[in-house]
Structure 1
Amino acid sequence: MRIAVLALGSRGDTQPCVALGQELAGRGHEVTVVASHRYAPLVTSPLTMAPLSVDPAAIVESEEGRAWLRSGPLGFVRGLRTVVEPLAEKLVLEVDAACKGAELVLAPALGAFGRHLSERYGMRHVLLHFQPSEPTRCFPNPLIPVRTLGATANRASYLLLERLAWAVLGRLADRLRAGVLGLPALKGDPFTLDRAERVPVLCGVSPLVVPRPPDWPGHVHLTGYWRLAGGGLPGDLEDFLQAGPPPVYVGFGSMAVTPRLGEQVVEALRLAKVRAVVQGLEVRHSDDLVIVGEVPHDQLFSRMAAVVHHGGAGTTGTALTAGVPSVVCPFFADQPFWGRRVRELGAGPEPLPVRGLRAGALAGRLQHAVQKCREKSAQLGRRLAVENGVKNAADLIEQR
């Protein structure tokens, strides 16, 4: 079967798509990964890469993109149009060209690329979720930064945010459907249409981390994480790791960070009396602190005493699988949700929102994580390590 996998996001979105693609290719399918050219090194034979000139990392690293990321949940949704619209026609053209020969497309829900391509070419589509995004009474949409709104409002929160997103993006989508794809306007929003047709949903999250809600329909599946094995660590980093006790990792992915945040982190590390591996912050190298660029987190985290991160879905899953405690410092979006899940699982302390991060509070949480969360983290990590999310997902794809 000819399969196109759309990885339309950051490295954290791309890696699980590549892992799923590798599993499918190993079963004899012809798999094309459609992703930013920046991530071409991740896509190796037998996968085929269809590089996109639109680079999400470059967008979020720009001044406009950083302001967008700081704008909060509603600002983020509104900013989708401001930041994405100038690039949208080129993106749609490139995705269309990459997928036109496929028999099946695996795509995220946002943007409804799977539905557009299915209508244009008659191919099947499957939705890929990286957080639990199907309506449920058990908890609100992960973009809502509270634990619960009550059963009825929890379920309604998903529909509200979907309609808000489509109110922002719908007109743009219909213009692109007409002007680029030659399709009529959608009759309704794609979320409702996909549910009505019971389009399969594969959520690359472990049920050990988020138990499957009992009110989810049968076409929505929690498969387990889609893990992509990384390579080795750089020699200078290996030397640092072997020169002393396990350090802590500090990094906030593609989030917009400030020099002040770096200062608070360095002071917290001093107060907690720990060595550290730091990624993406403006800090100085020292005997007890090493600065790294892109490194395979799956190889690094298992050698840490704790991991301080922003609570992105991918980073959270990697840290939990590594069996080490997390200190989650959420910025926005679904990150508070993952911070709460880490605390509820006993794999970390109360989340520390980055907006109020102070050195003393971070040092206290680091000490709590290392002293009180190691056993439960290790137990959960051992159970996650034997899950095979890509196998589960590929089995479901082949059953359809």
Structure 2
Amino acid sequence: MRIQIITAGTMGSVAPYTGLGHRLVAEGHEVEIVTHAKFEELVTCCGLRMRPLPADPFEELIGAHTRFRHGGRSLRAVQRLAHATERAAAGLVDGIITAVDPSADLVMLSTIAAPVGRVVARYHDIPSMGVFLQPDTPTAAFSPCAMSWREPGYANRLRGRAVNVAMDALYAAACRRLHARLGLPYRSGHRLRRAREASRWPIWHGYSPSVVPRPSDWRPELRVAGYWWPHECPLWTPPALVTDFLAAGPPPVLVSLGSMMPDAPERLSAITARALRHAGLRGIVQSGWAGLSVVNDDVITVGSVPHGWLMPRMAGVVHHAGAGTTGAGLRAGVPAVPMPVLTDQPWWAARLVQLGVSPRVLPHRELTASRLADAMRRATGEPRFTERATAFAKRLAQEDGAGAVARAAAELAS
């Protein structure tokens, strides 16, 4: 079977699909990942084919989100954020229309790609399914992941519907462009979502039911598969800088903000250095898109290092609580200090505290060296957090999320 996986966004929005794609190849399928050209090495190193999306508006979008959350919440800032989101959605249209292979047997779509990709797949009469890293269907079980975590209650369904209405509105320009390009009657994002639900479109979610249990009020076609972990490149070897540093002392704390671009990276680097020193901990800082840099006798700064290799060697992890990084930390069995920046990150961060693997959420806008040092000391020094994290890692090791999706794909095509 010829399968295309279409995803867009940051590294965390792409890397998990390399693991899913690799499993599908192992099951005998021909797989192509459609995503931004800058991730070509990530995809092809795993032995997967790649078709690039010509546009990549997401760095601009992340920058707009960051500026909005850090003091720029004026009407003009709201308008800039809305326009950046609309441009990001519209920028996907031409790329997905061009990228979808009419001879494909199945198209798998990430959350961001789904509103456009499902229409294009139906235009070519290709079966499709959702492969989402976050839930986006309203439920009473929890609040929508674009908001802070809330306990079960019917109001969560209302919040979920409100968030979806807002998101669908941001796809308005994309929907107009999409239907015009395909010569189809215009349908709004809201109508497309309603059609998706009415057709009982299947969606598999790439996180563990141990982390977020499947809601009982979801329709049967909404499944929670378990994580599909990024596939590590067989040609990759750890840098000597890292292996030498690990061998020279006790396990350090990893500080990683991934693809986030917070304001004043120099200030954040200085806070990180002071916090590690005050906590009496060694550290490895990933520079990421923020360009963090901390170097002294007890801290090194590195570029891209696979989390599947690095995190299990840490005493704890300070991270932005993106969906993929959250899962990687749980898989590694190490306690976390979530430092959310935007979108779904506060939601995942709160969940880590509830699961007992983190002492507290430390929002980026409230960050100080003393708060970070205290959170790191508690995470690494109180045995209950490590014990809970170890137990979760053992539980996740028993799951086979990619296999569940592979079996569903075979059933859908049969």
Whichever residue aligns with residue 52 of structure 2, its letter is P
Alignment correspondent of 2:145: 142
1:268 equivalent to 2:275? Answer yes
1:256/1:3 Cα in 2 relative to 1: closer, same or farther (>3 Å)?
same
Post-superposition offset of 1:221: 0.7
Alignment correspondent of 2:196: 194
Post-superposition offset of 1:262: 1.8
Aligned CA RMSD, in angstroms, stands at 2.3
Post-superposition offset of 1:244: 0.6
Secondary structure in 1 matching 2:181:
helix
1:333 equivalent to 2:343? Answer yes
1:252 equivalent to 2:252? Answer no
Post-superposition offset of 1:379: 1.2
Secondary structure in 1 matching 2:14:
helix
Map Cα deviations across residues 39-71 of structure 1 (whole Å, 9 max, x no partner): 11122365221012323564357x657535756
Task: Give the TM-score normalised by the residue count of structure 1.
Answer: 0.92
Whichever residue aligns with residue 16 of structure 2, its letter is P
Secondary structure in 1 matching 2:31:
strand
Alignment correspondent of 2:99: 98
Alignment correspondent of 2:395: 383
Post-superposition offset of 1:179: 3.0
Query: Residues 173-252 of structure 1 correspond to what in structure 2 (within 5 A)?
Result: 173-186=174-187, 188-230=190-232, 231-252=236-257
Structure-2 separation of matches of 1:320 and 1:369? 14
Identity of aligned residues (%): 36
Which of 306, 309, 312 aligns to 1:299? It is: 309
Post-superposition offset of 1:116: 1.4
Alignment correspondent of 1:131: 134
1:34 equivalent to 2:34? Answer yes
Secondary structure in 2 matching 1:151:
coil
Map Cα deviations across residues 280-320 of structure 1 (whole Å, 9 max, x no partner): 25433111110011110110000000000011000000000
1:57/1:152 Cα in 2 relative to 1: closer, same or farther (>3 Å)?
closer
Post-superposition offset of 1:80: 6.1
Whichever residue aligns with residue 274 of structure 1, its letter is L
Number of matched residues?
Answer: 396
Alignment correspondent of 1:316: 326
Structure-1 separation of matches of 2:77 and 2:407? 35
1:77/1:105 Cα in 2 relative to 1: closer, same or farther (>3 Å)?
farther
Map Cα deviations across residues 207-250 of structure 1 (whole Å, 9 max, x no partner): 11111111121101110111023243212111111111000000
Checking the alignment, whether the CA contact within 8 Å between 2:61 and 2:88 is kept in structure 1 is no
Post-superposition offset of 1:376: 0.9
Whichever residue aligns with residue 163 of structure 2, its letter is L
Checking the alignment, whether the CA contact within 8 Å between 2:66 and 2:341 is kept in structure 1 is no
Checking the alignment, whether the CA contact within 8 Å between 1:306 and 1:325 is kept in structure 2 is yes
Post-superposition offset of 1:269: 0.5
Whichever residue aligns with residue 247 of structure 1, its letter is P
Secondary structure in 2 matching 1:302:
helix
Map Cα deviations across residues 133-153 of structure 1 (whole Å, 9 max, x no partner): 2221111101111423x6121
Structure-1 separation of matches of 2:157 and 2:238? 43
Task: Give the TM-score normalised by the residue count of structure 2.
Answer: 0.89
Checking the alignment, whether the CA contact within 8 Å between 1:109 and 1:191 is kept in structure 2 is no
1:358 equivalent to 2:365? Answer no
1:185/1:81 Cα in 2 relative to 1: closer, same or farther (>3 Å)?
farther
Secondary structure in 1 matching 2:35:
strand
Secondary structure in 1 matching 2:34:
strand
Alignment correspondent of 1:348: 358
- For structure 2, the 5+ residue unaligned runs are none
Secondary structure in 1 matching 2:261:
coil
Checking the alignment, whether the CA contact within 8 Å between 2:336 and 2:357 is kept in structure 1 is yes
Structure-1 separation of matches of 2:268 and 2:125? 50
1:94/1:321 Cα in 2 relative to 1: closer, same or farther (>3 Å)?
same
1:135/1:65 Cα in 2 relative to 1: closer, same or farther (>3 Å)?
closer
Whichever residue aligns with residue 53 of structure 1, its letter is P
1:393 equivalent to 2:398? Answer no
Query: Residues 4-153 of structure 1 correspond to what in structure 2 (within 5 A)?
Result: 4-44=4-44, 46-56=47-57, 58-59=59-60, 66-67=66-67, 70=70, 81-86=82-87, 91-101=92-102, 102-110=104-112, 112-148=115-151, 151-153=153-155
1:75/1:351 Cα in 2 relative to 1: closer, same or farther (>3 Å)?
farther
Whichever residue aligns with residue 350 of structure 1, its letter is R
